[in-house]
Structure 1
């Protein structure tokens, strides 16, 4: 897991993430903050969800799956290793666990469950809640290395091979809504490279990487960057920020912004409305963190 300052305070879509029919698919871990709605199913390595998260389809985790209390999963939960299910969680399908099952009180599993390992009935979820609080505290006081080790222990990265450790997680911030219609977050958003995303993306700012296909519009209050070779099937709009469009990018809609920085090898099919400065150039300055 990649630990940066406030890693849970942004929407992070890692390289190669795709939406396949009704499933959100990534090679790495999936972390969903509490009070969020994900109308897709989720397929990833380890899946961690905070309290009162709703999933609209199946969860498939190659490693562990940790669902906090009051979660609601419309479909099946299929877990390759251990599962931790918080109290009063509802699963609309089956729960299938290859390892151990730690399950809270008053959990409703409509089509039954199986676990190949130990089954313990209690409330395990305060561990997950404590993890998020503890991780945030470590980052605030600058203990990034200790925070990284804590995250690796929770998500099972300590036993992963070197290639797996380099995979960034998919992070949905607390209180977000993710669906085929729109991704709505009140935090900054970052999209990696080679992704195929369905839905309009709404965030405070947006940075979209290379060679993506976004079947929807981009909207933010701050800056928006569209990377090389990315195609946006919709409008790109910001209220107060700058839009930067890299070479080979294609916007199949309108662009509205304060300032516009446009590479001459990019294409905009719709109209352009820039209230401030507009520049067209041959070089594209990449921002560094």
Structure 2
């Protein structure tokens, strides 16, 4: 990861992510920028949250969980390995940690906690500082393979890409809202409208909501959007086999001839029909 690179400059929803009734579930890590609100619970590998993040349900982390200062969790926190809680973190349920627990001052755990490893009460270092310290130590003792795995996780190059929620974003049953670009992987099932600077949606997704951006919107092959697709100034691109169960409003439009738009199409600029290879060969 290059120095100075902001890992939280895009709303990134990786392949296979599902928004269930109460939880967001992904196979990889979950990284939430400071001052964000996630009205769901979350389930993933490692869960990292910046300062003043609010979770509306449980946190389940197969690996580590790290919550920076003033985070608030409405439900339980279940951690498969180690947990790190900053000052004034509030947990509305129970904290259960299979490994070590590093806990800051004035942490409030309403239903108590259990940790199978060491318990250290102090002020944990900030999340990214902690991981860079660990990375440096791994390199120092010659654990190059472990260091490479950690560096790849920080740079988004691990086998399973992380779910990244940028600073100041809101994720709820009504909307995934960020002031940054947004990308959605393949084979996701999401509830809520997506609001972002630009939106790039992969293939074979099912989105129960609308897409709205200031810039470009791309809808991948076989994706179904149960709502409108709207951009203020950008281009909307709708790929082969995509279905839009609403209206499309944009500046320019690129529409595959095997895509389906059930509502009205409004384009103030150019409209381009992309013909499939089968259609061209049929002539």
TM-score range, shorter chain: 0.7 to 0.9
Give distance in 2, aligned partners of 1:28 and 1:272: 37
Query: Which residue is equivalent to 1:30?
Result: 30
- Describe the SS at the equivalent of 1:99: coil
- Relative to 1, partners in 2 of residues 1:252 and 1:131: Cα closer, same or farther, differing over 3 Å? farther
Alignment of 1:41-52 (within 5 A): 41-52=41-52
Which whole-Å CA distance do the structure 1 matches of 2:271 and 2:177 have between them?
Answer: 28
SS at match of 2:126: helix
The normalised TM-score by structure 1 is 0.86
DSSP 3-state at the match of 1:34: coil
Superimposed CA distance per residue, residues 142-186 of structure 1 (whole angstroms, 9 cap, x where no aligned partner): xxxxxx9588169699xxxxxx94110000000000000001100
CA distance in 1, matches of 2:34, 2:214: 24
Alpha-carbon distance between aligned partners in 2 of 1:200 and 1:83, rounded to the nearest angstrom? 32
Measured against aligned partners, the alpha-carbon deviations of 1:92-113 in whole angstroms (never above 9, x if no partner) come to 0000000000000000000000
Structure exhibiting the larger radius of gyration computed from Cα positions: 2
Instruction: State the number of aligned residues.
Output: 264
Once the two structures are TM-superposed, the CA of residue 16 in structure 1 deviates from its matched residue by 0.2
Among 161, 185, 191, the alignment partner of 2:184 is 191
| Corresponding residue for residue 10 of structure 2 | 10
C-alpha spacing 1:84/1:153, structure 2 compared with 1 (3 Å): farther
* Equivalence for 1:244: 237
Contact 1:46 1:65 in 2 (8 A): yes
How far does residue 14 in structure 1 lie from its aligned partner after superposition? 0.2
**Which residue of structure 2 lines up, in the alignment, with residue 139 of structure 1?**
none
Q: Which whole-Å CA distance do the structure 1 matches of 2:84 and 2:153 have between them?
A: 12
Which of these residues, 254, 257, 266, is aligned with residue 259 of structure 2? 266
| Counterpart residue number, 2:211 | 218
Shift, 1:20, TM fit: 1.2
Q: Show CA shifts across 1:203-261 (max 9, x none).
A: 00000000000000000000000000000000000000000000000000000000000
Q: Could you give the per-residue CA deviations for residues 77-135 of structure 1, whole angstroms, max 9, x where no partner exists?
A: 000000001110000000000000000000000000000000000010x3315369x79
Structure 2: how far apart are the matches of 1:153 and 1:223? 31
Structure 1 match to 2:83:
83
Paired position in structure 2 for 1:100: 100
Provide closer, same or farther for how the CA distance between residues 156 and 63 of structure 1 changes in structure 2, counting only shifts above 3 A. Answer: farther
Identify the residue that residue 127 of structure 2 maps to in structure 1. 128
Structure 2, unmatched stretches of 5+, are 134-145, 278-283
Give the secondary structure class of the aligned counterpart of 1:174. Answer: coil
Separation (CA, whole Å) in 1 of partners of 2:122 and 2:112:
18
- Let me know the Cα RMSD of the aligned residues: 2.6
Structure 1 residues 199 and 51: CA distance shift in structure 2, 3 A: same
